[in-house]
């Protein structure tokens, strides 16, 4: 059970996941519900906030869970509540016999597990889970059926749940388009501290500095600082709770980052003080951090959590800012038999022109450039 | 001359920029050359690396600068060399009378200016500049004519250059699609320390931690850490040089970040030690940093450096992965009179379907959703 294989079971013996209850219709719960509905699963929804359930239902995520009318347990109940209340919600659902199997979606696992044990939850039917998808937005209105597509979905069974039980939750993850990955709760928490929680705090630390700049300084901001600080736009209250539940692993990573930043700052100050007199070795901590940073960045798997996408070539095309222009451009591509895999449009405020970046397979660049040029488009090949 | 107005001159009296020499055909120099060529400017290219010049010429960035054949100075020479060599290259070009006006593209200004003065450069013809565009890739092969489109282009004239001279360089920036912005060299350096150099180091500090995780941990990485660490993929040698030239402003920002991260780590450790006994006030530094981070992030101007874009609404539409599908979809939008402002296509590895996120003005969502639904598309309004 040390890797994702353990959750697979035999390929010809997949557990049936026909009816699922989603308890908590926020972003994650509603996204799971939408994904399951798209695969034909019957989904029952509940949330302490009645408006949230109504919105989720209206979005096609399922229908309201009416426990008084339930005659038999659902296959799986997904507890999609904040980490602090998951153990109590789980215990209540188990006491009522809501489901055969239970899972949750908390982004921290060890503290939730410990509290669930303390509350006397039945650990034989509970498989803690954490789907690795999210957005800065929250609530059912931000939910998307494809939120977990190609993402990892961590499962942290305690050993008290049988293989069939774990396999059922793995199948639920797979129905949402995710790759189930079995690991220990403590290993999970250290991993997410490293790849999610501590990077979030670092993003906040960069963004917090921006408060000290004047408007002119901020006008010089480019795409780099926007990317670095994007996640800092997340909800402070929600993130405070997440960090609280994973305090030590996050703190350990943050101490390492703080030490690296302080050492770099000290080296730069030393360089400035000793200018002319300073030997090259003063800069060693700076060089070292930048080199380690590049090596670390290269360790990240491909864009979609482990799924390596083909390398697309990019063809920039100048486009006028008017209705129908993209349709005409794509029609030329279709006539040339070229599939456009992705497109990014660069806005050009104040200018009547924009640039569309067309992503295509490398072999399709030349035919597409020729077809568009012949049709009178301003194509910027070679970029 | 305290803002961009000062560089404008009278609207009906724009300086003629007909012939430009670009000295240094790396990413920035070649991108400037490509942008100028697209506006019909004659561009002459030089670089100590002959292969680099040849590639730039082949890309259509201009022709080789042959100084022995030059009978008159060009209008502007752009010194697009690394910061450390710019003053010497500038002095040499001025001694040869290469141009009427000179500018550079270094991302640090005060140290370059001081060294240029020390070398006896003619400051009356030199307008230091810094276009705010870049990529992780480098070299002429990565150049793009649209690299500066909609970006700010900082100009830091010393007061020794006349208004006409500054106006000529502002016109060059405008020809590249950028917005010229005049500010003091020291203010510029503090600003880029805040919005570019220190965020880069922070990104490296996050990425460097990833070296301590095992492969399973990295499999859990989502989009957040990818965004935070993207710029850490930049060239360590180039960035060491940049940081060296802006040492004190960068160090000051880094010390602030390090202190915030250390305080957050200490608070989380204190919480873990005192669990149950800890009052809520232990978490104050955590809450404070996350709140300041969100406020700072919100201060960043719209996507394109200072130009606030309208808030678009997003309409997700499920699309099959086949040629022509986007063309058909955009044709429906055009028939409905809706302009699609931007589009993002979510790849769905292993599935024959994808999701196109259509960005439109809020008022256009309902008409577009109706038109697409009527045409048989699977529209996911409300997401």
pLDDT category of residue A175 using cuts at 50, 70 and 90: very high
CA distances from B349 to A152, B126, B163, B219, B355 (A): 13, 53, 56, 16, 12
Residues of chain B with C-beta less than 8 angstroms from the C-beta of A220: 132, 152, 154, 181, 188, 191-192, 195-196, 305
Residues of chain B with C-beta less than 8 angstroms from the C-beta of A216: 3, 181, 183, 187, 191
| Chosen CATH of A4-183 out of 3.40.50.720, 3.40.50.970, 3.30.420.10, 3.30.70.1520 | 3.40.50.720
Q: Which of B1, B190, B204 to mutate to test the interface with A (most CBs of A within 10 A)?
A: B204
- B336-370 pLDDT tens trace: 888 887 787 754 444 455 668 788 888 899 999 99
Are the beta carbons of B236 and A291 separated by less than 8 Å? yes
Q: Is the pLDDT of residue B275 over 70?
A: no
* pLDDT at residue A234, rounded to an integer: 87
CA A324 to chain centre: 33
Percent of chain B at pLDDT > 90 equals 60
Q: How far is B334 from chain A (nearest CA, A)?
A: 4
In chain A, list all ranges with CATH 1.10.3660.10.
Answer: 189-298
Give the SS3 label for residue B317. strand
Q: Buried b / exposed e across B246-279, counting CB within 10 Å, b at 16+?
A: bbbbbbbbbbbbbebbbbbbbbbbbbbeeeeebe
Architecture of domain A189-298: Orthogonal Bundle (1.10)
Are the beta carbons of B327 and A334 separated by less than 8 Å? yes
| ipTM of this complex prediction, to 2 decimal places | 0.75
Of B208, B212, B296, which is closest to A293 when you measure between CB atoms? Answer: B208
Provide the CATH topology of domain A313-379: Alpha-Beta Plaits (3.30.70)
Read off the pLDDT of each residue in B313-338 and give the average, rounded to a whole number: 81
Q: How far is B72 from chain A (nearest CA, A)?
A: 32
Residues of chain A with C-beta less than 8 angstroms from the C-beta of B304: 347-349
Give the pTM: 0.75
Q: What is the mean pLDDT of chain A?
A: 87
Percent of chain A at pLDDT > 70 equals 87
Three-class secondary structure assignment of chain A = CCCHHHHCCCCCCCCCCCEEEEECCCHHHHHHHHHHHHCCCEEEEECCCHHHHHHHHHCCCCEECCHHHCCCCEEEEEECCCCCCHHHHHHHHHHHCCEEEEEECCCCCHHHHHHHHHCCCCCCCEECEEECCCCCCCCHHHCCCCCCCCCEEEECCCCCCCHHHHHHHHHHHHHCCCEEEECCHHHHHHHHHHHHHHHHHHHHHHHHHHHHCCHHHHHCCCHHHHHHHHHHHCCHHHHHHHHHHCHHHHHHHHHHHHHHHHHHHHHHHHHHHCCCCCCHHHHHHHHHHHHHHHHHHHCCCCCECCECCCCCEEEEEEEECCCCHHHHHHHHHHHCCCCCCEEEEECCCCCCEEEEEEEECHHHHHHHHHHHHHCCCEECCCC
- B229-270 pLDDT tens trace: 999 998 899 899 999 999 999 999 999 999 999 999 999 999
Q: What is the DSSP code (8-state) at residue B154?
A: E
Task: Say which residues have a Cβ less than 8 Å from residue A249's Cβ, sequence separation at least 6.
Answer: A189, A190, A192, A193, A194, A197
Residues of chain B with C-beta less than 8 angstroms from the C-beta of A330: 324, 326-327, 330
- B277-286 pLDDT tens trace: 666 789 999 9
Q: How far is A219 from chain B (nearest CA, A)?
A: 5
Residues of chain B with C-beta less than 8 angstroms from the C-beta of A264: 201, 205, 243, 251, 254
Are the beta carbons of B208 and A327 separated by less than 8 Å? no
Of A201, A216, A348, which is closest to B191 when you measure between CB atoms? Answer: A216
In chain B, list all ranges with CATH 3.30.70.260.
Answer: 313-379
pLDDT category of residue B311 using cuts at 50, 70 and 90: low
Are the beta carbons of A220 and B341 separated by less than 8 Å? no
Residues of chain A with C-beta less than 8 angstroms from the C-beta of B224: 134, 196, 199-200, 203, 230-231
Architecture of domain B189-299: Orthogonal Bundle (1.10)
Q: What is the DSSP code (8-state) at residue B192?
A: H
In chain A, list all ranges with CATH 3.40.50.720.
Answer: 4-183
């Amino acid at each position: 059970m040390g890797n994702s294989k353990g959750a697979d079971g035999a390929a010809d013996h997949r557990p049936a996941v026909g009816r699922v209850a989603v308890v908590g219709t926020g972003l994650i719960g509603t996204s799971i519900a939408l994904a399951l509905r798209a695969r034909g699963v019957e989904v029952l929804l509940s949330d302490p906030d009645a408006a949230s359930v109504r919105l989720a239902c209206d979005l096609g995520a399922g229908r309201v869970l009416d426990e008084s009318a339930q005659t038999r347990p659902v296959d799986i109940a997904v507890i999609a509540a904040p980490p602090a209340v998951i153990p109590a919600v789980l215990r209540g659902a188990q006491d009522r016999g809501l489901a055969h199997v239970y899972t949750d979606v908390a982004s921290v696992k060890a503290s939730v597990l410990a509290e669930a044990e303390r509350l006397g939850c039945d650990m034989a039917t509970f498989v803690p889970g954490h789907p690795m998808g999210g957005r800065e937005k929250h609530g059912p209105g931000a939910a998307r059926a494809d939120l977990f597509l190609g993402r990892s979905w961590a499962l942290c069974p305690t050993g008290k749940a049988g293989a069939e039980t774990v396999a059922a939750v793995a199948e639920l993850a797979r129905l949402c388009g995710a790759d189930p990955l079995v690991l220990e709760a403590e290993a999970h928490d250290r991993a997410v501290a490293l790849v999610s929680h501590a990077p979030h705090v670092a993003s906040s630390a960069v963004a917090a500095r921006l408060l000290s700049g004047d408007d002119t300084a901020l006008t010089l901001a480019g795409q780099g600082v926007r990317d670095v600080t994007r996640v800092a736009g997340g909800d402070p209250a929600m993130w405070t709770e997440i960090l609280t539940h994973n305090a030590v692993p996050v703190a350990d990573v943050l101490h390492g980052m703080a030490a690296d930043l302080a050492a770099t700052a000290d080296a730069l100050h030393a360089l400035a003080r000793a200018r002319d007199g300073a030997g090259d070795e003063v800069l060693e901590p700076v060089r070292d951090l930048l080199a380690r940073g590049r090596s670390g960045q290269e360790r990240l798997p491909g864009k979609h959590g482990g799924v390596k996408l083909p390398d697309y070539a990019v063809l920039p095309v100048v486009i006028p800012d008017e209705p129908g222009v993209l349709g005409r451009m794509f029609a030329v591509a279709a006539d040339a038999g070229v599939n456009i895999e992705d497109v990014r449009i660069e806005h050009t405020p104040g200018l009547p022109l924009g640039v569309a970046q067309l992503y295509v397979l490398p072999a399709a660049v030349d035919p597409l450039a020729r077809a568009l040029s012949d049709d009178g488009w301003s194509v910027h090949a070679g970029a």
